[in-house]
Amino acid sequence: MKLSTKLTLFITSSKLVVVLLFLLALPFLIKQIGSKYTTYTLKKQKKKVLGIIQKKGLDYYFQGDETYGSYTMLKEEFIALSPVALKFKMDTITNSKRLIESDTLNYRVLSYTFKNGNKNYLLEIGKTTENSNQYDKPLQRFALYVLFALIALTILIDLTFIRIIIRPLSKIIKTRLVNSKFPFKVEQIRISTGTTDFKYLDESLIRLMSQINDAFYKEREFTSNASHELMTPISVLQSKMENLLIDENLSETSSIAIVEMMKTVSRLKNITRSLLLISRIENEQFIKKENINLFKLLTEIIDEISHRLEEKHLQIHLKVSKEATLDNVNRDLIFQLFFNLIHNAIKFNREGGSITIENRNLNDGTYEIIIADTGIGIPEADLAFIFNRFEKTNLQENIGFGLGLAIVKSIVVYHDLKIEVYSEINKGTTFKII
């Protein structure tokens, strides 16, 4: 999962948790807000009533009566004034039930005692709790709308910020890893970023790629030089052995020993020649400008190797279009590529088996050349290593140097192709050049 996806999921889930907690707490919060607002309103009314009494006196309310009581038409609010004992004191705001005209209603009541002249009075101001609760649902809806709008806005801002923040990381991944082809020939340009961690990552990758390149070119240079230098003493040694065999005084035992030595030298020469070929391919010393007819090339290879087919009584089926061509390739290398694959298909095939070579165009625009045999197969554990140098499988025959498929892989990479292999023990092996 990408980092941006993980961050997006985390931000979205955290916002959802906040929404869930808010939904659970919203009724309580709205109730508290309503209660606080009612308390605030009651205190303002108290202040207003006391101000009127201070300016106009109690007669403004009593008008000759000993007590005063008034309520609105719908009994939503009431005000009451009455004398109380001098020692009685009260300053509270509580919820209580009051009987008004045979109706028992729930009120939030402010009770406050004050002195006027030599008397003590109790002021009561009440608001019905139903009146204060009637705005709960509209307030909840409004709060939810605001919350969802804020959540959507913050998610949008977060996603935009995440994209801006991790954009350099995406460029580093695409430039250094996804779209980078080994060996790294293009000069590595540093990614512009203000994030220190990304700068460090980019610098580390550039430094690592440079070290890998240096090590790769040193190894390639050593292989090339060593292979080239070994050819001369091997050729001299082979020549001297051939001269020794000409000597008429040489005993039969010595002649046999020299022949065995020549076989060993010949194998060493073939190994050195193969390594030199791989080195030349990797150093791109071949020109890729030829257009070749695939059918003709494969026919030529089959004709050259036909004696091996007869030895094992193998049938070969060439199902390649006669018009198929490979453009901008090196003919010698392509010849070596298919020669090695067909040679292996013969070498590891069973007596009286078959080899099938066919081509096909796929719907995605790719072109495949398939070489399938009915041989002994390759163990699944060995498939990942068959293209490594000096890595040999199917060791029931003690032949080969483990360089044939390494050469194939080098040619495939040099021509920007792909190679895939599928195999099943005792059923055969299939190579696909894509």
pLDDT of residue 135: 63
| Domain limits, the chain | 3-136, 196-282, 290-433
pLDDT of residue 395: 47
Q: What is the pTM of this model?
A: 0.50
27: Cβ–Cβ under 8 A, 6 or more apart, which residues?
A: 136, 140
CA distances 333 to 30, 272, 283, Å, are: 81, 17, 14
Residue with tokens 């089959």: 302
Task: Output the six-digit token pair for 306.
Answer: 């036909």
Q: What are the contacts of 361-366 at 24+ separation with CB within 8 A?
A: 366/434
Q: Which CATH architecture has domain 290-433?
A: 2-Layer Sandwich (3.30)
Task: Output the six-digit token pair for 235.
Answer: 């050729």
**From its phi and psi, is residue 356 left (phi > 0), alpha (psi between -120 and 50) or beta?**
beta
CA distances 237 to 94, 262, 276, 400, Å, are: 116, 9, 19, 22
Contact present, 133 and 34 (Cβ < 8 Å): yes
Task: Output the six-digit token pair for 6.
Answer: 């993980």
Q: Which residue positions in the chain have pLDDT lower than 50? A: 395-398, 400
Residues 420, 413: Cα–Cα separation, whole Å: 12
pLDDT in tens, 30-67: 778 878 888 899 999 999 999 998 888 888 888 878 88
pLDDT of residue 398: 45
Task: Kindly give the pairing relationship between strand 325-329 and strand 367-373.
Answer: unpaired
Topology at the third CATH level for domain 196-282? Helix Hairpins (1.10.287)
**Amino acid at the residue 288:** K
Residues 106, 98: Cα–Cα separation, whole Å: 7
